[in-house]
Amino acid sequence: QVHLVESGGGLVQAGDSLRLSCAASGRTFTTYTMAWFRQAPGKEREFVTALKWNGDSTDYADSVKGRFTISRDNAKNTMYLQMNSLKPEDTAVYYCAARDSYTVVTTQRGYDYWGRGTQVTVSS
């Protein structure tokens, strides 16, 4: 019942920044945790970062710590991923996800709703 739509992806050069957005609609009051995942060609979808509805619990994958920042505007039902100092290895389809639980998890199966993804390509 929750619909997620990512936006903000694009083609950038190494060192550039992007801000991804994930707009949620539908039965959003049941989603207590939101997350970002990414998937590069030929690789498994991997956890990037997540936070609870109140932002008190935030996790980041080691590969993005210090460069990416997750935030959420509950009033707008929108989640953001600020990505700075982008590297070619950040190239992937980025997905937003949500789950009906006040617990941050890092596995795909832990999330109930998914967007279709937005492509981020970082050139050297």
Q: Judge whether 35 and 49 are in contact, CB under 8 Å.
A: yes
Contacts of residue 100, defined as CB under 8 A and 6 or more positions apart, other chains included, come to 30, 31, 32, 112
Tens of pLDDT, residue by residue over 46-64, are 999 998 876 666 789 999 9
Contacts of residue 31, defined as CB under 8 A and 6 or more positions apart, other chains included, come to 2, 24, 53, 98, 99, 100, 112, 113
Tens of pLDDT, residue by residue over 14-29, are 999 999 999 999 887 7
Contacts of residue 54, defined as CB under 8 A and 6 or more positions apart, other chains included, come to none
Tens of pLDDT, residue by residue over 64-118, are 999 999 998 888 889 999 999 999 999 999 999 999 888 888 999 999 999 999 9
